[in-house]
Chain A
Amino acid sequence: MAVASRKNPGAIAYLQALPMAAVFGIFFILPICLVVVVSFFDYQTYDVLIPDFVYFNYQDVFTSDVTYRTYLATLKYCIITWAITLVVGFTIAHFLAFYLRTVPVQLVCFLICTIPFWTSNIIRMISWIPFLGRNGLVNDVLLGLGLVNEPQEWLLFSEFAVILGYVHLYTLFMIVPIFNSMVRIDKALIEAAKDQGASSLQILRNVVIPLSKPGIAIGSIFVVAIVMGDFLTVTVLGGGQIPSVGKTIQTELSYLQFPPAAANAVVLLGITILMIFALIRIVDIRKEL
């Protein structure tokens, strides 16, 4: 093996990778390991972290009805959001990739879709209030058209509002990777399918969808991971009524109950990893860039 010296270019590579490795080591790997360790700690009101090896944090998680209801609710939002963002994201990506002729037009439309991502998520959640509230625009229209007799209360601070918020905020995470997969599809393949007499539905099903799978997988991973751990959208648009695992952890944290929060976080992490494990195996993400 070559000696690490100034003549060996390999040493420079390690030096160049070091800052990133250090940041992830200190602020990501170590904290995640600590979450696992702390989940076995004891705690009291004035001594929030007592090193110990106890199981009752997990017992509390697994023996409580509230836990199961919370996880089921989170899972439900996750699946509904995933289904909607997938259909909408796929459709928009398909439009961007195949319906626009020139690259500048494609670029502008793509930018229009991505710009909101660079603005504040909380503001984007709050901006639904004038629409969905008791005196909001939607109720005005419904009352005006005579479709309902009284203002609808289920529009804001409800499951509906939370899922709407997710779709509004996170469809982009589907659009970008699916679009990225679609623009790599060789147009000749589609031409060939057409020449062989395939209908547009057949082309979609047998050519476009299979070749977009990596993008679909990456987008799905993003959406699943974000929704499973979310506490912001449920806080702002759920109005305190909507259960979510992320919210539970955040509430425990606000009372400085680190060990039970950590036990919940480990369970959440386990479920999230299981959900995306299959998706990660289908695709080598590095090749997709």
Chain B
Amino acid sequence: MKVDRPPYFALMVTIFVAFVIFLYTPIFTIMLLSFQGPGGGLTFPMRGVSLHWFQDLFGPQSIGDMWGAFRRSFALGLIVMVCTVVISLTAGLAYRRGFIGSTMLLYVSIASLIMPSVVVSLGIGAGLELAGIPRHWYSSGVGAHLTWTLPFGLLIMFAVFNRFDPAYEQAARDQGASGWQTIRYVIIPIILPSLIGVALFSFTLSYDEVARSSQAIGAVNTLPLELLAMQTNATTPVIYALGTLTTGLSFLVIGITLVVFVWLRRRQQRHGSDAGNA
């Protein structure tokens, strides 16, 4: 039997596999090296296997305030996530109705997306300095992160609503649903998987953000800023241990999101198409 493969199939598969190896090998290498024995260094060979560097990370003599930084980053990520989902959703709904200045708002959000982060950071820092407003991760920090997460949220909303059949809304209205009821009981349930996608996006983007927040966060560091400070004088695998933990958390969040996403889709398909299924 002749299988009709596209030309150079083997070559293209090889290139793809090589790219995936290039993408993942470094991160898995430092995960491995974070389990170095107490005598191990930043590179191979592994000198024994231990949890030494993880203990070191949480030990009293650990560099900086690691737990505080982690808690701040996590809380900041959650705040940014909730804000991004709500604001992107309402903006997405506004675009469905149409309003004067909608094209302008789109261009502004795209400009925000591609603006070099260091310029945004500088502007926010200068503004706070001029106005004499103190910087906090939970105020100016959230704002700085939103300039990075909202454009992604809005673009995802466009992608979602471009494929959203207005017949659902019309049907709800014909049945006498109010505007809010239509949103609450029709639109949100249908686009829920995508909203979860926006949530994942905004949490992870915020959790790893450095460039925009560097001037807006105030005196105390977030986890990535702590990492950056640590990196300049890292001589032991303790930095790999931190990398393993934070990457593990990212993978966990992605995994949970994917599972919830798939589960919701399946449920929608089951419940959505029961017409004719006795």
Majority SS of interface residues in chain A? helix
The answer on a CB contact under 8 Å between B210 and A20 is no
Does B93 lie within 8 Å of A16, measured CB to CB?
yes
Query: Which chain B residue shows the least CB distance to A240?
Result: B232
A-B contact count (CB 8 A): 264
* Contact A246/B116 with A14-B94, A17-B99, A92-B19 known, Cβ cut-off 8 Å: yes
Which residues of chain A are near B147, meaning CB under 8 Å? Answer: 23-24, 27-28
Complex interface bits, A1-34 against B, C-beta within 8 A gives 1, otherwise 0: 0000000011011111101110110111111111
B239 near A126: Cβ-Cβ < 8 Å: yes
Q: Are B98 and A135 closer than 8 Å at their CB atoms?
A: no
Known contacts A17-B102, A127-B29; is A28 also within 8 Å of B115 by CB? yes
Q: A219 to B268, alpha carbons, bound, how many Å? A: 33
B125 touches A253 (CB 8 A): yes
Q: How far is the CB of A99 from chain B (nearest CB, A)?
A: 5
- Minimum CB–CB distance for A89 against chain B, Å: 10
A20 touches B114 (CB 8 A): no
Q: Chain A contact residues (Cβ within 8 angstroms of B): what range?
A: 35 or more
Residues of B within 8 Å of A232, CB to CB, are: 210-211, 228
A75 at the interface (CB under 8 A from B): no
Q: How far is the CA of A130 from the CA of B127 in the complex (A)?
A: 41
A112 and B227 within 8 A (CB): no
Residue A67 lies at the interface, judged by CB distance under 8 Å to chain B: no
Is residue B260 contacting chain A, with contact meaning CB distance below 8 A?
A: no
Given known contacts A17-B91, A131-B29, A289 and B158 CB-to-CB distance under 8 angstroms: yes
**Segment at the interface with A among B60-68, B184-192, B244-252, B270-278:** B244-252
Q: Nearest A residue to B149 by beta-carbon distance?
A: A23
Interface size on B, residues (CB 8 A): 94
Q: Let me know if B227 and A122 touch, CB within 8 A.
A: yes
Chain A residues with Cβ below 8 Å from B129 are 48-49, 258
Question: Chain B contacts of A10 at CB under 8 A?
Answer: 97-99
Given contacts A24-B112, A98-B6, A168-B23, contact A16 B90 (CB under 8 A): yes
Give chain A interface residues in 107-128, CB to chain B under 8 Å.
109, 111-113, 115-116, 118-124, 126-128
Q: Mark B141-184, 1 if CB is under 8 A from A, else 0.
A: 00110110010001100110010000000000000000100000
Contact between A261 and B122 (Cβ–Cβ < 8 Å)? yes
1/0 per position for A209-235, CB-CB distance to B under 8 A? 000000000000110011011111001
Binding site for B on A (CB under 8 A): 9-10, 12-17, 19-21, 23-24, 26-35, 38, 48-49, 88, 91-92, 94-96, 98-99, 109, 111-113, 115-116, 118-124, 126-131, 133, 135-137, 140, 168, 171, 200, 221-222, 225-226, 228-232, 235-236, 246, 249-250, 253, 258, 261-262, 265, 268-269, 272, 276, 285-286, 289
Interchain residue pairs with CB less than 8 A apart (24): A10-B99, A12-B97, A16-B90, A16-B91, A23-B146, A26-B143, A31-B120, A31-B122, A94-B12, A113-B20, A116-B27, A119-B246, A121-B208, A126-B231, A126-B239, A129-B43, A130-B33, A200-B8, A226-B116, A258-B126, A265-B119, A265-B122, A268-B119, A269-B115
Shortest Cβ-Cβ A-B pairs, 10 listed: A229-B116, A31-B123, A127-B26, A16-B94, A17-B94, A13-B97, A27-B143, A225-B114, A13-B99, A20-B91
Seed contacts A32-B115, A122-B228, A137-B29; 5 additional CB < 8 Å A-B pairs: A33-B123, A130-B43, A137-B43, A230-B116, A285-B110
